[in-house]
Structure 1
Amino acid sequence: MKEPKRRKVSIDSKRARSVSKSYYLETDKGRRRVCAKFFEKTLCISNGPINTAFRGRNRSGCYDNGDRRGHKAPGNKTSENDIALVKKHIESFPVMESHYSRQSTKKLYLDSNLTISKMHDLYKNDFCTENMICSPVNEKTYRRIFCDNYNYSFFKPKKDLCALCYKYEKATTIETKKELETEYCLHLIRKGECNEAKRFDKQRCKEDPSFLTCTFDLQSVLHIPSSDVSLFYYSRKICVYNLTIYVGDGEEAHCFTWNELHGKRGSNEIGSILYKFLLSLPATVKEISLFCDTCGGQNRNQQVAAVLLHVLHVASNLVKIELKFLESGHTYMECDSMHSAIEVAKRHKTAFCMNDWAEIFKSARRKRTNKYQVHMLTYNDFYNLHELALATIKNRNKDKEGVKVSWLKIKCIKVEKSKPDTIYYRYDHTSDYKEINISAGRGRPRTRSANLSPAYEAMLPISAAKKQIL
């Protein structure tokens, strides 16, 4: 920008140019002067940025005003107050942890009947009306706040997550894969052995009437009340537990159900249900094999082993019981089909009490004539298996060869009526059983009483907040 070399005489002095602007572009032969239009179209800009650059230049001719864009909030930006109200509404819904993979994920789960669109409708129609909010945010903004600030989901995992398989498949380097290859191959071998053992027992069950095989598993948590009414989405609910047992080829299937007022979901409850189920078997059954997952707090522990020994002591027909555990991460069983059928049956149905859930369980099986047999349990049906284990198992840590027993690695547990003081175990499904003499050690021998003490003397309490809402 320079002073004009000459000025055209004009009557209107306001139109006279005070400065003269020159435009240049760099070429391979040096700077070349161009006209203003050529300069603007080459850089795809208008005259505005050029005038701004001229106005903001310093004495040396360089622009030093900085970039002033983005310092002013846009007029359509969602206010902090509206964001806080949306968060308040989202946090008013009760959440629960994952049933299967709670150790490997921090994701929380909302009611499976909810969606973000349905939550926005509840926010717009109910929440905004109650709080006299005149201008609720739209669904796009509600969805953005939900996805950006919360690790929530509406669907529960369908099966266990195999961490080892996932880690091996997602390995990014050849070195990492080689380090995991040995462990991964052994993992697949154990998986095949477990499935082969289950297939062999199913075939034997068809051919031998004195042998029976079953699979059992605890279904993901259900709730009371369960309904599509919008009011119940905000309510704390009573947890309902359902242990399913799939017998043989599936002609007989059982649902043992209770709620959090009558029991928890630990080894006392699982072992007590197995005790009742095994004693109800017909007199023709002499041997039985049970398949389950590797949950240490529920299935693979000394309390369940103690109750299996107690069953042989009480039952007159059973002579051998085997408890077999599938490979972690690959624990799909026949009883999982019962969970899927129940999930389908409960869609768009309401459950306000345990009898409603019992009817849903019975209606879940449609293709076969034999419906699921539903057993509703109370706190009187659960026994204190910790006391039973202390009373019957004196030695639990070392086998007859003096080797330390790792209960979390056991794949098979076997008890026999002919050896009431022995628990057989092995770490796979193909090797020979090792023996644990449960009466070995110093001190008085443990007694095997036929009476089981109750786990609970009365119904279990719930929180004051849950009771008030219910």
Structure 2
Amino acid sequence: MSGSESDEPVSKKRIRNPDTHKRNIIRSSKVKGVEHINWKGDLVQKRVTGERCKCRLKCFSLFDEDDQVNILSQFNNLSSKDEQDIFLQSLIEKHDKKAHRPRQDNPKSRQCSFKYFVLKQGTKINVCKQAYISLHGISAGRVRRLCDLLFQGSLPKDKRGMNEKANAIKPEICKAIHDHILSFPVKNTHYGGKQIKYLDSRLNVKTMHELYMKKHPTLFVKYEFFLKYFKENFNLRFGRPQVDTCIKCEELGVKIKSPSLSEPAKKAAVAEKIVHSRRAKKFYTKIKEVQELCRKNENIVGISFDFMQNLPLPHLPVQDIFYLRQLWVNCFGIHNMKTQKSKFYMYHEGEGKKGVNEVCSMLHKYITSSIPESVDTLYLFSDGCPGQNKNHTILRFSLALVNSGRFKEVTHFSL
């Protein structure tokens, strides 16, 4: 499966928590109106109701202390600056000017006037501009900006941090890097519930960067950024796992080492792992017993079988191979415990898959060609892969061997 055909890989780095970033803490504190330390290290006091207005309407007399607290609390509970600005703008009305009486030689002509309101128990109450500012605990500059946007017919939008950085990598370069990494074919792990994708073992990030520079000479990017982009946007590994580890052992091992798990749960995991290890030990003990039976009895044979790692074809140290979808060769091995000899069946992916049908076919071929007719007891040993070795098809195949009279007894042990 090529990288472009697979699902988008997630990052292999630890998950970010933007809420703990300093800039976001300051930004959130300003929205909520709580006390905080700004970028300069100065203490910013919490948002409070401003000074009373001195207008002839005596706007503050319309609101008692509880009303003032509720107005400020309602405003602070809005989750973002955009929501606050939209809320504030909804309490401002634009009206055409009624009269124009210039008192200077070159007066500034105002094109409209504004009315300000405050919500009190769901009802809009007309107040002066100073009362509007004080009751919401905001600045006059913020109100001026909202009025300008209202005059233009625009909604307020927080544009802080939206300016393009001078040293930012261009989007087309990031896209070229992304497409370049996806162009390499990947292979999936054979075992395990968690899908892990592997790149060719001859590759590394340095080689991928060199190939990128040859492929895109005009879109220069440093190796450090290429490596950072690879780690943050892809969860790919190189090579292959050296051994097939047991899923159950790995799962229980993680639980035992987890700091967030309670002591009773850890003890239960330890006990479960002990039982699991004993079962595995019993499996290998059974193999030794069958080997001894095979040595002493001519009519008993034990075989173990499994697929080995897929082999790429062709295997060439050429850079162009990294971008090509290579042909995979499957290799199925059967080991005879009586003769201590093994036989391998090899076929490429165009001839067959790695399913239970292929397993049964190769077992049947081996039994008919390599096990004498005098043998009437057969022992099978395999791992617990459900798609190949441990399933109903294998059981029915074993039953067919007995019902056909080929064997008197067929016993299958799986790890």
Normalising by the smaller structure, the TM-score range is: 0.5 to 0.7
- 1:313-366: CA deviations, max 9, x gaps? 5565x432211111xxxxxxxxxxxxxxxxxxxxxxxxxxxxxxxxxxxxxxxx
**Greater mean deviation of Cα atoms: 292-301 or 169-178:** 169-178
Q: Secondary structure at the match of 1:299?
A: coil
What residue ranges of structure 2 are gaps of 5+ in the alignment? 1-39, 41-160
- Per the TM alignment, residue 250 of structure 1 is displaced from its structure 2 partner at its CA by 7.3
Match of 1:80 among 160, 163, 171: 171
Q: Stretches of 4+ moved more than 6 A in 1?
A: 70-74
Q: Secondary structure at the match of 2:220?
A: coil
Match of 1:154 among 227, 238, 243: 238
Match of 2:329 among 221, 240, 255: 240
- Per the TM alignment, residue 74 of structure 1 is displaced from its structure 2 partner at its CA by 6.3
- Tell me how far apart the structure 2 counterparts of residues 297 and 251 of structure 1 sit (CA, whole Å): 27
* Conserved? CA contact 1:168–1:184, under 8 Å: no
Equivalent residue number for residue 228 of structure 2:
144
Matches within 5 A, 1:191-206: 191-206=280-295
- Tell me how far apart the structure 2 counterparts of residues 114 and 214 of structure 1 sit (CA, whole Å): 37
Q: 1:119 to 1:304 in 2, by over 3 A?
A: same
- Tell me how far apart the structure 1 counterparts of residues 302 and 210 of structure 2 sit (CA, whole Å): 49
Matches within 5 A, 1:259-278: 259-278=348-367
TM-score, normalised via structure 1 length: 0.49
What residue ranges of structure 1 are gaps of 5+ in the alignment? 1-48, 50-69, 327-470
Match of 1:217 among 298, 302, 306: 306
- Per the TM alignment, residue 77 of structure 1 is displaced from its structure 2 partner at its CA by 4.2
- Tell me how far apart the structure 2 counterparts of residues 189 and 106 of structure 1 sit (CA, whole Å): 28
* Conserved? CA contact 1:275–1:308, under 8 Å: no
* Conserved? CA contact 2:252–2:270, under 8 Å: no
Structure 2 residue 313 is the aligned partner of structure 1 residue 228: no
- Tell me how far apart the structure 2 counterparts of residues 269 and 71 of structure 1 sit (CA, whole Å): 58
* Conserved? CA contact 1:278–1:311, under 8 Å: no
Equivalent residue number for residue 166 of structure 1:
253
- 1:423-450: CA deviations, max 9, x gaps? xxxxxxxxxxxxxxxxxxxxxxxxxxxx
Q: 1:73 to 1:310 in 2, by over 3 A?
A: same
C-alpha RMSD over aligned residues: 2.8
Equivalent residue number for residue 205 of structure 2:
116
Matches within 5 A, 1:44-63: none
Q: 1:251 to 1:193 in 2, by over 3 A?
A: closer
- Per the TM alignment, residue 72 of structure 1 is displaced from its structure 2 partner at its CA by 7.5
Q: Secondary structure at the match of 2:289?
A: helix
Q: Secondary structure at the match of 2:363?
A: helix
Q: Secondary structure at the match of 1:307?
A: helix
- Tell me how far apart the structure 2 counterparts of residues 304 and 106 of structure 1 sit (CA, whole Å): 25
* Conserved? CA contact 1:279–1:311, under 8 Å: no
- Per the TM alignment, residue 274 of structure 1 is displaced from its structure 2 partner at its CA by 1.0
What count of residue pairs does the alignment treat as equivalent?
A: 252
Equivalent residue number for residue 387 of structure 2:
297
Q: 1:312 to 1:176 in 2, by over 3 A?
A: closer
Q: Given residue 174 of structure 1, which amino acid in structure 2 is its aligned partner?
A: E
* Conserved? CA contact 1:98–1:108, under 8 Å: yes
Q: 1:249 to 1:210 in 2, by over 3 A?
A: closer
The structure with the largest helix share of the pair is: 2
Q: Given residue 244 of structure 2, which amino acid in structure 1 is its aligned partner?
A: K
- Per the TM alignment, residue 76 of structure 1 is displaced from its structure 2 partner at its CA by 4.7
Percent identity, aligned pairs only? 26
- Per the TM alignment, residue 194 of structure 1 is displaced from its structure 2 partner at its CA by 1.2
